Structure 1
Amino acid sequence: MNSTLTGAVASYLAQVRAELSDLPPGELADVLDDVTGHLTEVAAEFEGEPTGIALQERLGTPHEYAAELRTAAGYPPRTQPVTDQNPGNRALRWGLIATLVGPFFVAVAVFAGGQGASAFFGFVGFVILFGAAYLGVRALRGNDPRVVLDTPRGQRGERQIRDLIEQIPPNVRKELVTIGQPVWWVLRGAVGGGGFFLLFGAGAVAVVGAIGGAVLSVWVARRTQQDRRWLWYVIPLNVVAAVAVPAFLSAAFLGAYSGVFDRSDYNNSSNYNPPSDGLRWNGSEVTNVYPFDAQGKQVSVALYTQDGEAITLPLQGCATDNNNSGTKNSNILPHAVATYVPNEKPTEANPDESVCKDEIKAPFTPPQFPTTGPTSNPTPTPNPTPSAKVTPPPAKPTPGATLTVQPTR
């Protein structure tokens, strides 16, 4: 192995440097030259590149190794706290923030009720995700990304992931890699690109965003195979996709099913279930009824169903809120509606600027009722009786004529 330290060896040297950072710069450089040579010799004794655990089993922890150097060289013990100089620890810490915190806010945005809340939480989630991922890559400081696997937390995580992978049958694992992986690349990109525009209310370009997202996702996947630093971005985005893809597919399925169900309701009247509460007309809620008689005069009526049940509506008058009798509904219509008018005579007991007034008159003008037609009742004209005989009145006598009267026997 050459003198350029990489991987776990470089991470171990960085931690030793942090433990000895309080030494004078010249003496620190000399000590680190000796430590670099020693670590190179120790690493060459392994068959491959050693892990962080293997180095600690051989040399002790970086803190213990630095303490032995101080004792051997006669340096005093360190009194200042040590700043974490392990790039693997910091890179892993930022990676966990990008993987857990960022997708959490994105998940809240996916399931948020309002569009404004969805846009806000989505923006916060993506800012945290990409910001933490960028800081994680910067924390590597040019080291191989595998240095995170040399940290205790990274090693535990690697073992857990390997244990889960080993639970999958080998033939299934092969299919997941050869077929499932490309499908996942396209699916996560399409849902991510289209969902991003839908999240911010730009549904018109969602299809274009889905196509662009799929292409970008495949390119990023290929790029990640060449440069592992892209994992700081890809893994959090995979977590987001793991939440968004099922949610998107479920919403699409439920929307399609709801559309079919709604159409079947309208096509088959036997499946229609009208609302159980309240009075509705053409789909709108009826809060009051204003009856008029045939002459267009507003009247008060009591409404009942064909079964004799009262059709009641909630009271709306001024006394409704203070009604302690328990009567909140009535079928005597129309109901008085509470209106507020200026208080012309304010008193000390009632200094309000407005007072409540019950108004029962209809707030609209009914259409004009016809004077003729089915609703009018004209006086009928009697027809003459055919069997009746009309006797004409006797003629008046002509002046100068003689009226002769025949005696009746």
Structure 2
Amino acid sequence: MNSTLTGAVAIYLAQVRAELSDLPPGELEDVLEEVSGHLTEVAAEFEQEPTTAALQERLGTPREYAAELRTAAGYPPRTQPVADRDAGRKALRWGLIAATVGPFFVAIGIFAWSYEETVFFGVLGLAVLFGAAYLGVRALRGNDPRIVLDTPRGERGAEAVRGLIDQIPPNVRRELVTIGQPVWWVARGAIGGGGFFALFGAGAVAVVGALAGAAVSIWIGRRTQQDPRWLWYVVPLNVVAAITVPAFLAAAYLGASFGFLNNYNDYSSNPAAYTPDGLALNGMAVSNIYPFDAQGKQVSVRLYDQEGNPIALPRQDCDTHNGRVDPNTTSNVFPHKIVTPDEYGNVDGENCKDSDKAPFIPPPAPATQTTPPTSTPTTTPTASATTRPSVTLTVQPTR
């Protein structure tokens, strides 16, 4: 069989081969050799490489073309056993579950904001993906995987895919096969392997994981070309990679953190990254600060961080509310004045009122334990009747 056919012609020939797969192997190869030569002649009649629609308009569908060959050669019509049709439907159903439900849960894990959610949905998605793919391969019951194309849904899906392929210019299709396919194999494996190790915090070996993932991905791609049953695993993984690769590249380019990457941010070193106002406490935004001294009296202070930068928050007083001051104006003098509504809950623009009084009563300051000073007892000297001179004794060492 001519192996130089490309594009829609090669796809058409492969579909004709699938329709004639029940013929004896030797006779099948002879028929396909003649079909290959005929397709080459038909393709030469077009000014450029023909599309699938153009070939079907000229020759009919692959099934119709194969039926004409059977009639001309005296072969009986192909009949597919009921068991094969059931196997094709079940295999296709499990394949669709693996390619949709599994990647859906994986995508939730990728974009989750907590480490626990990432691990849970990631593991769940991969379990569904590989489990459904395994059941799909088992449903084939040893039949040729092309039996899924004999089902109504499989035939419609294949026709839709062929229509999309026909929209790609022939020269671009060749480049995608010769260059784009190996690049895709490397990209999906490298990001998958590196991301797996990064997920569990082993960043030092992420590069090794990326190289190993690329090697495994290339091996799987080559293996799939030899055994189409691997498509039940590879197609869902390609869907996952189609989600993961752009997300990873976007995160790397924008400096953003998607899903599990957030777990490696140091909240204590950059709390402003968690709130738009730039100040947070236990993950909650802080809109005002009410300082009190040791005696419980409210005081006014200016706040700065460890590098001398003002810790400023947006003002919320009447000037900003009425537009007399830019609403984005900030101040590091605390407490800020806050607009207070009237008894009906309204804020009158002309008679706006604001206050910096704390809306709460601070708890009493903790008592500090003090140690009473040690008192030294004093003695009152007793007056003596006579005053005696003091005598100093000098002791000499004996010899």
Please, what TM-score do these two structures have when normalized by structure 1? 0.52
Amino acid at match of 1:300: K
Q: For the residues of structure 2 that align with 1:221 and 1:291, how far apart are their CA atoms?
A: 70
Where do 1:258-337 residues align within 5 Å?
275=277, 287-291=289-293, 298=295, 300-301=297-298, 303=300, 311-312=334-335, 331-332=356-357, 336-337=361-362
Q: For the residues of structure 2 that align with 1:231 and 1:302, how far apart are their CA atoms?
A: 71
Structure 1: gaps of 5 or more residues: 1-5, 12-35, 67-81, 258-273, 293-297, 316-322, 338-358, 366-409
Q: For the residues of structure 1 that align with 2:103 and 2:224, how far apart are their CA atoms?
A: 20
- Which residue in the other structure is 1:148 paired with? 148
Where do 1:205-284 residues align within 5 Å?
205-255=205-255, 275=277
Indicate how the Cα distance of structure 1 residues 362 and 99 shifts in structure 2: closer, same or farther if over 3 A, else same.
Answer: same
Q: For the residues of structure 1 that align with 2:318 and 2:290, how far apart are their CA atoms?
A: 20
- Which residue in the other structure is 1:132 paired with? 132
Where do 1:50-61 residues align within 5 Å?
none
What are the superposed Cα offsets for residues 296-334 of structure 1, whole Å, 9 maximum, x if unpaired?
Answer: xx37356499x999954699xxxxxxx989799953479
Deviation of 1:195 after TM superposition, in Å, equals: 2.0
Q: For the residues of structure 2 that align with 1:301 and 1:159, how far apart are their CA atoms?
A: 76
Q: For the residues of structure 2 that align with 1:158 and 1:329, how far apart are their CA atoms?
A: 69
Q: Percent identity?
A: 55
Indicate how the Cα distance of structure 1 residues 194 and 299 shifts in structure 2: closer, same or farther if over 3 A, else same.
Answer: closer
What is the total number of aligned residue pairs between the two structures? 266
Where do 1:7-406 residues align within 5 Å?
86-255=86-255, 275=277, 287-291=289-293, 298=295, 300-301=297-298, 303=300, 311-312=334-335, 331-332=356-357, 336-337=361-362, 359=363, 361-363=364-366
Q: For the residues of structure 2 that align with 1:238 and 1:190, how far apart are their CA atoms?
A: 13
Indicate how the Cα distance of structure 1 residues 244 and 364 shifts in structure 2: closer, same or farther if over 3 A, else same.
Answer: farther
Is residue 100–residue 236 contact of structure 1 (8 Å, CA) maintained in 2? yes
Indicate how the Cα distance of structure 1 residues 143 and 277 shifts in structure 2: closer, same or farther if over 3 A, else same.
Answer: closer
Structure 2: gaps of 5 or more residues: 1-16, 36-60, 258-275, 303-316, 320-332, 347-352, 369-399
What are the superposed Cα offsets for residues 73-116 of structure 1, whole Å, 9 maximum, x if unpaired?
Answer: xxxxxxxxx98863221111111111111111111111111111
Please, what TM-score do these two structures have when normalized by structure 2? 0.53
Q: For the residues of structure 2 that align with 1:45 and 1:137, how far apart are their CA atoms?
A: 30
Q: For the residues of structure 2 that align with 1:136 and 1:308, how far apart are their CA atoms?
A: 67
Q: For the residues of structure 2 that align with 1:330 and 1:189, how far apart are their CA atoms?
A: 60
What are the superposed Cα offsets for residues 195-244 of structure 1, whole Å, 9 maximum, x if unpaired?
Answer: 22334454443322211111100000011111111111111111110011
Q: For the residues of structure 2 that align with 1:108 and 1:308, how far apart are their CA atoms?
A: 44
Is residue 287–residue 314 contact of structure 1 (8 Å, CA) maintained in 2? no
Is residue 87–residue 140 contact of structure 1 (8 Å, CA) maintained in 2? yes
SS where residue 113 of structure 2 aligns?
Answer: coil
Deviation of 1:167 after TM superposition, in Å, equals: 0.7
Q: Whose radius of gyration is greater, 1 or 2?
A: 1
